[in-house]
Structure 1
Amino acid sequence: MAPHNRSCLYKVFVPSYTSRVLVEVLRCRGVEGCPLWLRVRAKAPPLHNSTALDCREHTPCQLALDLPFWQHWYYVLVEKHPGVPGTISFQVTVQLTDCSRPSLVRPPFLPPSASMNMPHSFGSAGGLALEDSPPPMDPNSTKHPSTIPIASPAGERCWPVRPTLRNELDTFSVHFYIFFGPNVSVPPDRPAVFVINLLPVLDSGGVLNLELRLNVSSLCGENVTVFGCLNHEVPLTSGDNTSVTCATESLAGFLLSVNATASLSRLRIPYPQTGSWYLSLRSLCATEHGFEPCTNVTAEVYLRAYLSPCINDCGIYGQCKLLRTNNYLYAACECKAGWNGWGCTDNAEAFSYGFQLLSTLLLCLSNVMFVPPVAIAVRSHYLLEAAVYIFTMFFSTFYHACDQPGIVVFCIMEYDVLQFCDFLGSLMSVWVTVIAMARLQPVVKQVLYLLGAMLLSMALQMDRHGLWNLLGPSLFALGIMAIAWTARTIRRRHCYPPTWKRWAFYLCPGALIAAAAVLLYAFVETEENYFYIHSIWHLLIAGSVGFLLPPRSKPSGRLGPLPRRKGCGYQLCVNEQEELGLVDPAVASINSICTS
């Protein structure tokens, strides 16, 4: 390490089935006492609070990491003490112990110029410099040192890991099957280890479910408890057979247990980290002195592991939805009626049954306000408009009866169909009312009715909850009405509608009521006040239709043919004799006229 450098950074890749990593600083020369700090960290360069060792106080200077992360890089930082002048030479060795063969220690990664162990320097200001500064080699050392045998920790062994078979059913719906399962045997002398592989992106947006069920009949009357430890990236199989924890200094997992009293245990992990998850099962017998290894008792456990979009499909108070943020797809519960939690199971702020019933009745019975507009439309001979209002009233009532969460629900058909018909009926009610106010020719009006129904269906299919689905057709219909009224006003040279009573008692109140309804729908309505604000919306829209619907059109003022009156006028008659040429021409003009 040159005088202007404060540290050297190395990295080493730890493969699978590595039970121990030993990092050691050897042959420290140039300064008395080896004033170096040795720091090691997984997945990223070490920080000030990472595992560290002062080489002045420890001889030999070595750090041992048990149960390291598999398939990850470990970073080794050799840092100089402040105020140390001169050049320091040293040698760094990293020894990896294969847990399947404890006596085999892989050779240290030397020389340091190897691609997997390239040293880098940290500048004095803390920035990362990319100049290569390989530490000097001892002239007496060999370029490729031989394997250094070390003693493995007491009782350290590596048990075989049983794989699982992946079966994809749907989005975030994956079942993991165990070979010769799902019933697995847990012997008394060693743990049973299983691996569950979660694919990146595809499996991280759901919920990882794990279920353990103990077969009590397999215990033969013994007080056996089966402990399961689910951990990410490395199995926690400690040599201490009596340990019931699922954590070490650097690792932490999820602990499950089943026994004769509680034979079922479930674990759910929302949005799990991808990669390999290891489940270690071991059986221990409860005694007066705690848990001890069992003798000649093989416990049988039913194991089920699967991915699901949501927890318990969000229950009866929620709906599981697939959401997308940028390119990331994930599932989440949309809770209703005040319920919260991952699976809509938190009832701390839940609505009571009486409140749910009240909200359902308000939303459904407020549609009765459409009865007066239907009666007015029928009386004014607006039969098509009356049919649209009846359609809206019917589907709005049953849609809101089906849309409620919890147990106050009544659906006569699929929810999606009811929702589409409710939205379509609401928009068509506004459309036909404004077009009827324009008093267009029957053919033009029928064409606009049909065209509006088709365009509104298309708009609702694209986005049902868009605000412009309501404002767009309303503004377009108002434009048609304004053009028709303006043309009629210019032709008659008088304001249309002509009477001030129509403006004062019908049009102005109806327009104000409709504007208030639109403002409530657009700016006031939220999920918290939905049940009463939307009920007011029903009342206002139906009330505005009753005011705005025009009166019955008067008969046309064009005069038709007048009816004949008896005793007046004349009738030309044809004389058959004249046609046959049998009448004297002198009297033909008289005989051919018949008066009536």
Structure 2
Amino acid sequence: GLFVTDYFTRTPRKLSPFRSFASIELFHFHIPEDTVIAVWNLITFKEQGGTFGDQCPDRSITVYFRSGAPSVINPLHTHFPRDTAVPGSFALTLTWTLPNRTTGVFNVTSPLPGDWFLAAHLPKDEGKISVKGLYEECQYLFQPQLIVQRLVNIAVLYPGHVTEQSMAPHNRSCLYKVFVPSYTSRVLVEVLRCRGAEGCPLWLRVRAKAPPLHNSTTLDCREHAPCQLAQDLPFWQHWYYVLVEKHPGVPGTVSFQVTVQLTDCSRPSLARPPFLPSSASMNMPHSFGSAGGLALGDSPPPTSPNDTKHPVPIPVTSHAGERCWPVRPTLRNELDTFSVHFYIFFGPNVSVPPDRPAVFVINLLPVLDSGGVLNLELRLNVSSLCGENVTVFGCLNHEVPLTSGDNTSVTCETETLAGFLLSVNATASLSRLRIPYPQTGSWYLSLRSLCATEHGFEPCTNVTAEVYLRAYLSPCINDCGIYGQCKLLRTNNYLYAACECKAGAGAVQGSSHTLSLLHQFYHACDQPGIVVFCIMEYDVLQFCDFLGSLMSVWVTVIAMARLQPIVKQASVLYLLGAMLLSMALQMDRHGLWNLLGPSLFALGIMAVAWTARTIRRRHCYPPTWKRWAFYLCPGALIAVAAVLLYAFVETEENYFYIHSIWHLLIAGSVGFLLPPRAKPSRRLGPLPRRKGCGYQLCVNEQEELGLVDPAVASINSICTS
């Protein structure tokens, strides 16, 4: 056949260490139909300070692949709530081959068409809590590229028609496809009149949605006559691909015929009983009547997800043959983004008769609904059991209803299908199921009741169980609990929701000391554990704590400057500092210059004040060595030690201890650095006038000499009497 190659790329994005699903980078691709191979080229490179990050450490990058919906990522091995079904995905780890660049390749043969999602992140960091802006940050950029190769003009098989085919010696295989509509119970592919070689040296492979693989359903026509391959309960509204492959080493041309038969349970000749079920058999109230009078012999038109005119029949395989049961549609009610309720007509209480299943369909819109959580809840009305030991089983399957099983068991799996099983009885009357990031399309829920006996389960007699059914989409599981918050994230035009802890390691990064009263309340709300106490919004507490921290530095240094004799209104500086610090915190709360800038500015004011006082007095200020030796130098050393602990030693593991030591050191340094309290001037009375002298000695002001309790007065001027 003829191949066409398509190329897709995405903009490079900066990767982050994994802390929650909100820290990953999500990429959305769309693979067209008839694709035989998809190749992802995964490019990663380092940057530091706008240049190549050759000095950056090598950090492994994990990439997740999933078809239909984003991957549910849990590298930290946290626990999901009960009754949560975590869908699987494929993960790939990239290692570095060059100092600043690496490339990985991921091939998928015959990928499923539709939406594919890639998620990438760095490993969880080692717990180092660094100050933002202290050094050039290493950035790891990730760019995925997709190359697909697809076949064009694949031969289409029409049900009931025979297709002639001759396979030349240089050809190994022939590929066909057939479209399977809704209400199809079986697909039968048959190879006829195989000629040109001994026996029939052909393999027959069938697969849904994409061309067959080596592990697809296979039949060796040499060992089976007739060469027929059947697929029960096929996927509805999808292409099925048929591959006829020649055995290796077969010379000459092989001729054969291919035909496909579809079993349609909406036809009266293929469905029993050939009459419309009563309202009771359709699990609806008797007031609903005959549902519009549609006979099973009529071919129902395709219905939209919200079309409620006629119930549509579905197939069920059993020992008694093929039967058709009605499917009850659900009404979609959108309340908000990822907040959708699916209502059942004449519900939410549904009746489950003993002799047939009750089937419902839930339609999830493509792309739009895959970023939330599909929730399903079954609650059994125990009073409706009439004392019988009845168990109601529910099977939730994607894209095809599955109610197969015998009269003694219920299974939600076949060779090609896998579903989710729920059950309720008199003992456990409530069952829940949560599916994060569900695949879009039609989800079918089949309810069936069986009675428990000594020998297992048996069909019930004259007991119709009543079940409360609730199905809805929510952004997150249980709204992320008490100590989490549900975030709505966006990647280009794709929306998805994820949980993020309100308190934890992410919240402590960039925290600093404080002398404010809200400090204890902030750290009580900042704990990563279960015991968290928040008197108000976390963001408000964090702002107040950071503002108090910076104001404590500002006020301490301005007080050390002793500006009162120079600037009579020194309180203006306190007010100006509060305004500037508030503005800086609103711009970047965790930046290095938010702490360093005001501190340096205050130190500059103090240096100018001390220099002016030194020049005016003609000696160093503070003037005494005791003030330097016992107060200023120890206080400065303690403060520097605290800053070094905060900037280079603090990690997530030792945060509680190092941060407590940081607070103690800063509080201790303030006790050394704050100037002593100024005492009121004590003017000396006039000295006794000496005879023969026209001058008297007086004192105009008393100046602090740098001691905690100054008691020495200096003679500042001599005035005439």
Q: 1:482 to 1:278 in 2, by over 3 A?
A: farther
Q: 1:327 to 1:481 in 2, by over 3 A?
A: farther
CA contact (8 A) 1:467 1:522 kept: no
Q: 1:121 to 1:584 in 2, by over 3 A?
A: closer
CA contact (8 A) 1:100 1:159 kept: no
CA contact (8 A) 1:198 1:275 kept: yes
The equivalent of 2:498 in structure 1 is: 332
Secondary structure of 2:197's aligned partner: coil
Give the whole-Å Cα distance in 1 for the aligned partners of 2:473 and 2:260.
Answer: 38
79-88 or 491-500, which deviates more: 491-500
- The structure in which a higher percent of residues are helix is 1
CA contact (8 A) 1:517 1:540 kept: yes
Q: 1:217 to 1:590 in 2, by over 3 A?
A: closer
Instruction: State which of 628, 641, 661 in structure 2 corresponds to 1:536.
Output: 661
Q: 1:586 to 1:320 in 2, by over 3 A?
A: closer
CA contact (8 A) 1:119 1:133 kept: no
Give the whole-Å Cα distance in 1 for the aligned partners of 2:709 and 2:653.
Answer: 102
Q: 1:123 to 1:283 in 2, by over 3 A?
A: closer
Secondary structure of 2:519's aligned partner: helix
The equivalent of 1:367 in structure 2 is: none
Normalised by the length of structure 2, the TM-score is: 0.57
254-263 or 36-45, which deviates more: 36-45
CA positional deviation for 1:26: 2.8
CA contact (8 A) 1:12 1:74 kept: yes
472-481 or 143-152, which deviates more: 143-152
1:511-559 CA distance string (max 9 Å, x none): 3333333333344444443333332232222223333334457999999
Secondary structure of 1:307's aligned partner: strand
CA contact (8 A) 2:316 2:322 kept: no
Q: 1:450 to 1:254 in 2, by over 3 A?
A: same
Give the whole-Å Cα distance in 2 for the aligned partners of 1:489 and 1:115.
Answer: 101
The equivalent of 2:576 in structure 1 is: 451
Give the whole-Å Cα distance in 1 for the aligned partners of 2:459 and 2:709.
Answer: 145
Give the whole-Å Cα distance in 1 for the aligned partners of 2:312 and 2:501.
Answer: 63
Secondary structure of 2:282's aligned partner: helix
Secondary structure of 2:287's aligned partner: strand
Q: 1:496 to 1:145 in 2, by over 3 A?
A: closer
Q: 1:516 to 1:161 in 2, by over 3 A?
A: farther
CA positional deviation for 1:398: 2.3
Matches within 5 A, 1:409-558: 409-438=532-561, 447-466=572-591, 468-478=593-603, 481=606, 499-551=624-676
CA positional deviation for 1:263: 1.3
Secondary structure of 1:322's aligned partner: strand
58-67 or 126-135, which deviates more: 126-135
1:452-497 CA distance string (max 9 Å, x none): 3334334434554555543444345445555666777788886665
Q: 1:283 to 1:546 in 2, by over 3 A?
A: same
Give the whole-Å Cα distance in 1 for the aligned partners of 2:271 and 2:412.
Answer: 27
Secondary structure of 2:615's aligned partner: helix
Instruction: State which of 447, 453, 467 in structure 2 corresponds to 1:287.
Output: 453
CA contact (8 A) 1:10 1:120 kept: no
Give the whole-Å Cα distance in 2 for the aligned partners of 1:522 and 1:181.
Answer: 61
Give the whole-Å Cα distance in 2 for the aligned partners of 1:528 and 1:581.
Answer: 42
Q: Share of identical aligned residues, percent?
A: 95
CA contact (8 A) 1:121 1:131 kept: no
CA positional deviation for 1:145: 31
Q: 1:592 to 1:144 in 2, by over 3 A?
A: closer
Q: 1:569 to 1:182 in 2, by over 3 A?
A: farther
175-184 or 311-320, which deviates more: 311-320
Secondary structure of 1:121's aligned partner: helix
CA positional deviation for 1:33: 2.1
CA positional deviation for 1:78: 1.9
CA positional deviation for 1:215: 0.7
Secondary structure of 1:465's aligned partner: coil
Give the whole-Å Cα distance in 2 for the aligned partners of 1:581 and 1:32.
Answer: 112
The structure showing larger relative contact order (alpha-carbon pairs under 8 Å, at least 6 residues apart) is 2
Q: 1:153 to 1:579 in 2, by over 3 A?
A: closer
Secondary structure of 1:586's aligned partner: coil
Give the whole-Å Cα distance in 2 for the aligned partners of 1:149 and 1:552.
Answer: 92
CA contact (8 A) 1:166 1:175 kept: yes
Give the whole-Å Cα distance in 1 for the aligned partners of 2:710 and 2:416.
Answer: 135
CA contact (8 A) 1:107 1:145 kept: no
Normalised by the length of structure 1, the TM-score is: 0.67
Give the whole-Å Cα distance in 1 for the aligned partners of 2:710 and 2:375.
Answer: 116
The equivalent of 2:471 in structure 1 is: 305
Give the whole-Å Cα distance in 1 for the aligned partners of 2:290 and 2:170.
Answer: 8
Instruction: State which of 701, 711, 714 in structure 2 corresponds to 1:576.
Output: 701
Give the whole-Å Cα distance in 2 for the aligned partners of 1:586 and 1:536.
Answer: 36
The equivalent of 2:377 in structure 1 is: 211
CA positional deviation for 1:294: 1.9
CA contact (8 A) 1:107 1:148 kept: no
Aligned residues: 538
CA positional deviation for 1:288: 3.6
Give the whole-Å Cα distance in 1 for the aligned partners of 2:693 and 2:317.
Answer: 137
The equivalent of 2:523 in structure 1 is: 400
CA contact (8 A) 2:684 2:698 kept: no
1:224-251 CA distance string (max 9 Å, x none): 1111111222221226344312111111
Matches within 5 A, 1:132-147: none
Secondary structure of 2:677's aligned partner: coil
CA positional deviation for 1:283: 1.0
Give the whole-Å Cα distance in 1 for the aligned partners of 2:620 and 2:607.
Answer: 12
279-288 or 237-246, which deviates more: 237-246
CA contact (8 A) 1:93 1:108 kept: no
Secondary structure of 1:117's aligned partner: coil
CA positional deviation for 1:82: 1.0
323-332 or 155-164, which deviates more: 323-332
Give the whole-Å Cα distance in 2 for the aligned partners of 1:313 and 1:229.
Answer: 26
CA positional deviation for 1:302: 0.8
CA positional deviation for 1:49: 1.7
Aligned residues: CA RMSD: 14.9
Give the whole-Å Cα distance in 2 for the aligned partners of 1:305 and 1:561.
Answer: 96
CA positional deviation for 1:307: 2.9
161-170 or 214-223, which deviates more: 161-170
CA contact (8 A) 1:199 1:275 kept: yes
Q: 1:489 to 1:324 in 2, by over 3 A?
A: farther
1:170-199 CA distance string (max 9 Å, x none): 444333222221111112222111122233
269-278 or 463-472, which deviates more: 463-472
Q: 1:250 to 1:102 in 2, by over 3 A?
A: farther
The equivalent of 2:196 in structure 1 is: 30
Q: 1:482 to 1:587 in 2, by over 3 A?
A: closer
CA contact (8 A) 1:112 1:135 kept: no
CA contact (8 A) 1:206 1:330 kept: yes
146-155 or 112-121, which deviates more: 112-121
Unaligned runs of 5+ in 2: 1-166, 503-517
Give the whole-Å Cα distance in 1 for the aligned partners of 2:683 and 2:386.
Answer: 104
Q: 1:574 to 1:438 in 2, by over 3 A?
A: closer
496-505 or 252-261, which deviates more: 496-505
CA positional deviation for 1:77: 2.0
1:144-179 CA distance string (max 9 Å, x none): 999999999853233222222333444443332222
96-105 or 245-254, which deviates more: 96-105
Secondary structure of 1:562's aligned partner: coil
Unaligned runs of 5+ in 1: 337-394
Give the whole-Å Cα distance in 2 for the aligned partners of 1:106 and 1:172.
Answer: 40
CA contact (8 A) 2:703 2:713 kept: yes
316-325 or 429-438, which deviates more: 316-325
Secondary structure of 2:318's aligned partner: coil
Q: 1:150 to 1:510 in 2, by over 3 A?
A: closer
